[in-house]
C-alpha cells in the first residue's frame, strides 16, 4: 500500500511562501509527476513528503497515518536524488545494503534482495565497485537499486535524470516506466522537463510559484489546460498565444487582431459569446497549424510571413510573423518554404484554446 494525501500543505521560509495550500490525493500504485519551472515549490513539496523539510501548516498522511512529525526513517519511503547521493566510501553492494542493515535485516535476506535488485537493474557485474568507478548511467541505476531493495511504500524521485546526457535520459525514462509497471509501487516524481512529466506520469501536477495550477492525466493537460500557464508549459514547441478581440456580427463570432481575422468555430462559439466585444487570449498549438489548401474554409486561414525555417526531418518548424505576433507552425516536411515567403496558414478548428486575458483562466 502507498496512498499519500496532502491536505492544505504550506511551507514558509522566513517570509517567503514557497508552497501554498497544496491539496492532493496520490492513489496507491500511482505514478504522479510534479512539474514546473525552477523555484515553483515542487522539490520542496517532495522534501516535505520525505520528511526532510518541516511542514509549516497542513497535513501529509501516508496510508491514513499523519506523518508530519515522523522522522524520514520511519515513513517507509525511498528517495532518489538528483546527484544520486551514493555513499562514496562504500561498494555498490554496501550502498544498496545500507538501508537494510540499518533496519536490521539478516544477512541472507539482504544478499537476496540486493541480488534481486541488481538483476532487475542489470548492475550485477559492478557490485564490488566503488561509485567513482561507475559511469553516470550506472550510478543512476545504483541509486535506483538502493531505493528498490527496501520495498518501500512510496518512491520519491527528485529530478533523477537531469544529470544524464540526452540519449541516456530517454533510455532511463523508459526503464523507469518499466520498473514502475513491474513493481507497482506508488511513485512521486519531480522534474522541470514536461516531456518526462507527460511520458512517465499517470497524473501530472503542474505547479507555479508554490501554487498547484492543474492536476490531471497527461492528455487532459494537453487537450484542456486549465489556464494559460499550463497551456504554455505543456507541449513542445510551446503553444502560440495571440491577443484577439471577439466580434459578434450577425450571429457569427470572429476573433480579430492586426494579423488575424478568424471565424470562431461553432464548438467554441457558445461559451465565448459572453466575451463578445472584449479581448481574449487565443492559443494555438504549433502542431494544429498547417499550410492552407483549397479545402480549408477561408475563415479558418490567415496570412503570414516566414522568418525562420527549422528542419527537423519529421516536420518543419516555421517561425512566422502574423500581424504583430510571431507564431510557430509545425508543418509537413514536404512543404518547400523559404525565409520571407508569404504563406497562408490554416487552423484546426476543433483545437483552439481561449483564455481570459486578465485572469489567464481557460474559457
Partner 1 sequence: MIEGARWRRWVFFYMPMALFLVFLLFPFYWMIITSFRPDSELYRPWNSINYNPFWTTKPTLEHVRYLFEETLFSNWLWNTTFIALASTLISLVCGVFAGYALSRLNFPFAGSLGTGIFVTYLVPQTLLFIPLAEMIRNYKLGDTPWSLILTYPTFLIPFCTWLMMGYFKAIPKELEECARIDGASRWKAMLYIIIPVAIPGILSAGIFAFTLSWNEFIYALVFLSSPEQKTVPVGVTSELIRGDVFFWGPLMAGALLGSIPVAVAYSFFVEHYVSGLTGSVKG
| Nearest distance in Å: CB 53, partner 1 | 10
List, in order, residues 6 or more apart from 79 with CB less than 8 Å away.
Answer: 50, 147, 155, 156, 157, 158
| Residue among 88 and 249 whose Cβ is closer to partner 1 | 88
- Residue 103 CB, shortest distance to partner 1, in Å, is 5
Binding site for partner 1 (CB under 8 A): 50-52, 71-73, 75, 77-79, 81-89, 98-99, 102-103, 131-132, 139, 146, 150
Please state the closest distance from residue 95 (CB atom) to partner 1, in A.
Answer: 10
Which is closer to partner 1, CB of 47 or CB of 208? 47
CB of 133 to partner 1, least distance (A): 11
Residue 29 CA from chain centroid, whole number = 19
Find cell 499550410 and name the residue. 291
d(CA 259, CA 301): 11
Q: Which is nearer to partner 1, 108 or 132 (CB)?
A: 132
Whose Cβ is closer to partner 1: residue 95's or residue 288's?
A: 95
* Distance separating alpha carbons of residues 15 and 133, to the nearest angstrom: 44
Closest to partner 1 by CB, 82 vs 279, is: 82
SS3 318: strand
CB of 186 to partner 1, least distance (A): 15
- Rounded to whole angstroms, the Cα distance separating 253 from 266 reads 9
CB of 20 to partner 1, least distance (A): 23
- What is the nearest approach in angstroms of partner 1 to the Cβ of residue 253? 55
4 - beta bridge partners? 26, 62
For 7, residues 6+ apart whose C-beta sits below 8 A from its C-beta are 23, 58, 59, 60, 61
Q: In what order do the strands lie in the sheet with 261-263?
A: 261-263, 252-256, 240-249, 279-284, 352-356
Question: Which one, 78 or 289, has the nearer CB to partner 1?
Answer: 78
Contact indicator for 35, 71 with CB cutoff of 8 Å: no
Residue 51 vs 225, nearer CB to partner 1: 51
- Say how far apart CA 11 and CA 22 lie, in whole Å: 10
Amino acid at each position: 500500500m502507498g496512498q499519500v494525501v496532502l491536505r492544505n500543505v504550506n511551507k514558509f521560509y522566513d517570509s517567503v511562501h514557497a508552497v501554498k495550500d497544496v491539496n492532493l490525493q496520490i492513489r496507491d500504485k500511482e505514478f504522479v509527476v510534479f512539474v514546473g519551472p525552477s523555484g515553483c515549490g515542487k522539490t520542496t513539496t517532495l522534501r516535505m513528503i520525505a520528511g526532510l523539510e518541516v511542514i509549516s501548516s497542513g497535513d501529509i498522511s501516508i496510508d491514513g497515518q499523519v506523518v508530519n512529525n515522523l522522522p524520514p526513517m520511519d515513513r517507509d519511503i525511498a528517495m532518489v536524488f538528483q546527484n544520486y547521493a551514493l555513499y562514496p566510501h562504500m561498494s555498490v553492494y554496501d550502498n544498496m545494503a545500507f538501508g537494510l542493515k540499518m533496519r536490521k535485516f539478516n544477512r541472507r535476506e539482504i544478499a537476496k534482495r540486493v541480488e534481486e535488485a541488481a538483476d532487475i537493474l542489470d548492475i550485477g557485474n559492478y557490485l564490488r565497485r566503488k561509485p567513482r568507478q561507475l559511469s553516470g548511467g550506472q550510478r543512476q541505476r545504483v541509486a535506483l537499486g538502493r531505493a528498490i531493495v527496501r520495498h518501500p511504500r512510496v518512491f520519491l524521485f527528485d529530478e533523477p535524470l537531469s544529470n544524464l546526457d540526452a540519449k541516456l535520459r530517454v533510455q532511463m525514462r523508459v526503464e523507469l516506466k518499466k520498473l514502475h509497471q513491474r513493481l507497482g509501487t506508488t511513485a512521486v516524481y519531480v522534474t522541470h522537463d514536461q516531456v518526462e512529466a507527460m511520458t512517465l506520469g499517470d497524473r501530472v501536477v503542474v505547479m507555479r510559484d508554490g501554487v498547484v495550477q492543474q492536476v490531471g492525466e497527461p492528455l487532459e493537460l494537453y487537450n484542456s489546460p486549465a489556464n494559460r500557464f499550463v497551456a504554455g508549459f505543456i507541449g513542445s514547441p510551446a503553444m502560440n498565444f495571440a491577443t484577439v478581440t471577439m466580434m459578434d456580427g450577425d450571429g457569427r463570432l470572429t476573433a480579430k487582431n492586426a494579423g488575424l481575422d478568424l471565424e470562431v468555430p461553432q464548438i467554441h462559439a457558445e461559451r465565448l459569446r459572453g466575451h463578445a466585444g472584449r479581448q481574449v487570449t487565443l492559443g494555438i498549438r504549433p502542431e494544429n497549424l498547417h499550410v492552407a489548401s483549397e479545402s480549408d474554409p477561408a475563415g479558418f486561414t490567415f496570412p503570414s510571413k516566414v522568418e525562420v525555417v527549422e528542419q527537423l526531418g519529421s516536420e518543419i518548424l516555421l517561425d512566422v510573423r502574423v500581424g504583430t505576433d510571431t507564431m510557430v507552425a509545425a508543418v509537413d516536411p514536404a512543404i518547400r518554404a523559404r525565409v520571407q515567403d508569404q504563406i497562408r496558414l490554416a487552423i484546426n478548428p476543433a483545437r483552439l484554446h481561449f483564455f481570459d486575458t486578465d485572469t489567464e483562466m481557460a474559457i
